[in-house]
Amino acid sequence: MTTEDLSIDAVGARNTPATPEGPIQYVNELTTLNLGPTHPATHGIFQNILQMDGEKIVSGEQTIGYIHRAFEKIAERRPFYQITTLTDRMNYCSSPINNLGWMMTVEKLLGVQTPKRADYIRVIMMELARISDHLICNGILGVDTGAFTGFLYLFEERENIYEIYEEMCGARLTTNMGRIGGMERDLSAEAIRKIRKFLKDFPPVMKEFEKLFNRNRIFMDRVVDVGPITAERALSYGFTGPNLRAAGVDYDVRAMNPYSSYEDFEFEIPVGENGDTYDRFMVRNEEIWQSLRIVEQALDKLPDGPYYADAPEYYLPPKQEVYKNMEALIYHFKIVMGEIDAPVGEVYHAVEGGNGELGFYLISDGGRAPYRLHFRRPSFIYYQAFPEMCKGTTLSDAIVIMSSLNVIAGELDA
């Protein structure tokens, strides 16, 4: 019997065909392996059904939707300001980017121009969020290759970022940061002190982390040339963000369609070459440095002035005014009750999220809630490339590939 006689049957087992002389002989059976839904290496709830030939992955199929919460449907019954809390729960590793991206979408529809100070505060918060997002991804990539130390060290710094969030909005994970027209509160002296402290303390830790990983023999053996993807395939699969840049395409929404005054800052867009796991890791590391640069510039150049736009119909008046001023009281009531109709319109706004282009497609029919709201979630779109990327690799490589793609279950399922 030669290998040509083998056929693959419905369950994927390579068997000899049944003959009159005898029953099917099982020569080489494929193993079905369930990776997930609650496997620790998925870092979230989604399932990969892998067909394994020995240690090699032959094919894979994903099942997602385990934490689907119907945000798009819920959003059709909520005033605009109440949708912010839904966006928190998409990419929960960098919620401020989601929040502020949504605010900017609504502001675009309403035609509200935010003052420079609000823009700069937003930039600071979004870049800190990007740092914390990339820290988790790269830290966990270390854990998945067997190095726990980096993760532990970085988490202390992530904690410091969360303390800055607390100063800005009172929350840590689901931040609900910003308001339509600006920020909910100004940068306090304490917040500035914490950001300055972070800018001073974080770089040495990051340098140590890079020293631990970047040229580490064991780490490089695990990630170099693992899960490469060409720029062409990456574009076809709708990759954006660090994963696309690792493949060598220098697309960054911040540079191409600057929002929130990103054009005022100098930063570079790191790109990789092969689009393999190592490149993705290195691109994220470099982006952390660039984000630090942006935060520093924004803090140094922070303009004076109001931190919210003059948009009384959408931005809550100060509480003291509500008690003393009739007009403020009316606006307060109307905003809280969601009684202000939005203009009719259709807007697509994209921001550079932690994982790539996070888009908001909003259709307003003139009501108080969106007629239709669609989130373009980068994780959802690029995760479909996973079977192609891990085909022919071993299970341990597949886990590293998945980890470096940074699939966030909340964003995957919305």
Partner 1 sequence: MLTNQAVAEDLIKQFGAAVYDFDEPFGLLTLSASREQIVPILLYLKDHKTYQINFLTDITGVHYPDEPGREFCVVYHAHSMVENFRVRIKVFLAEADLHIPSMTVLYASANWMERETFDFFGIQFDGHPNLTRILNMEEMDYFPMRKQYPLEDGTREDKIDALFGR
Q: Kindly indicate which of the ranges 182-190, 286-294, 311-319, 379-387 contains the residues binding partner 1, using the contact rule CB under 8 A.
A: 379-387
How many residues sit in the footprint of partner 1 (CB under 8 A)?
A: 49
Q: In this complex, which beta carbon is closest to partner 1, that of residue 373 or of residue 398? A: 373
Where b means 16+ CB within 10 Å and e means fewer, 354-364 reads: bbbbbbbbbeb
- Give the strand order in the sheet containing 344-352: 344-352, 357-365, 372-376
φ/ψ of residue 178, rounded to 5: 85, 160
Strand, coil or helix: 43: coil
Task: Name every residue whose Cβ is closer than 8 Å to that of residue 319 and which is 6 or more positions away in sequence.
Answer: none
Residue 369 binds partner 1, judged by CB under 8 A: yes
We find the least distance from the C-beta atom of residue 350 to partner 1, in angstroms, to be 8
Residue 357 binds partner 1, judged by CB under 8 A: yes
Residue of 234, 236, 255 lying closest to 246 (CA atoms): 234
Q: Which of 385, 390, 401, 405 binds partner 1 (CB under 8 A)?
A: 385
Q: In this complex, which beta carbon is closest to partner 1, that of residue 284 or of residue 377? A: 377
Residue 263 binds partner 1, judged by CB under 8 A: no
Residue 74 binds partner 1, judged by CB under 8 A: yes
> CA–CA separation, 276 vs 221, rounded Å?
12
CA distance readout (Å), 230 to 20, 227, 248, 268, 287 = 48, 10, 8, 22, 21
Residue of 189, 187, 126, 186 lying closest to 161 (CA atoms): 126
Q: Kindly indicate which of the ranges 124-132, 181-189, 318-326, 356-364 contains the residues binding partner 1, using the contact rule CB under 8 A.
A: 356-364
We find the least distance from the C-beta atom of residue 102 to partner 1, in angstroms, to be 16
We find the least distance from the C-beta atom of residue 340 to partner 1, in angstroms, to be 8
Residue of 92, 95, 74 lying closest to 351 (CA atoms): 95
CA distance readout (Å), 155 to 5, 138, 149, 202, 407 = 55, 11, 10, 11, 19
> CA–CA separation, 57 vs 352, rounded Å?
33
Q: What tokens were used for 260?
A: 């929130």
Q: In this complex, which beta carbon is closest to partner 1, that of residue 308 or of residue 380? A: 380
Strand, coil or helix: 394: strand
Q: In this complex, which beta carbon is closest to partner 1, that of residue 201 or of residue 346? A: 346
We find the least distance from the C-beta atom of residue 24 to partner 1, in angstroms, to be 28
Residue 409 binds partner 1, judged by CB under 8 A: no
We find the least distance from the C-beta atom of residue 385 to partner 1, in angstroms, to be 7
Q: In this complex, which beta carbon is closest to partner 1, that of residue 293 or of residue 391? A: 391
Q: Which of 380, 389, 404, 411 binds partner 1 (CB under 8 A)?
A: 380
Q: Which 202-261 residues touch partner 1, going by CB under 8 A?
A: 233, 235-238, 249, 251, 256-257
Binding mask 276-315 for partner 1 (x = CB under 8 A): ----------------------------------------
Residue 70 binds partner 1, judged by CB under 8 A: yes
Q: Which of 197, 207, 301, 372 binds partner 1 (CB under 8 A)?
A: 372
Is 16 within 8 Å of 5 (Cβ atoms)?
A: yes
Q: What is the largest CA-CA distance in the chain?
A: 97
Q: In this complex, which beta carbon is closest to partner 1, that of residue 49 or of residue 299? A: 49
> CA–CA separation, 114 vs 110, rounded Å?
11
Residue 348 binds partner 1, judged by CB under 8 A: yes
Residues at the interface with partner 1 (CB under 8 A) = 64-65, 68, 70, 72-74, 76-77, 79, 108, 233, 235-238, 249, 251, 256-257, 338-339, 341, 345-348, 350, 357, 359, 361, 363, 365-369, 371-372, 374, 376, 380-385, 413-414
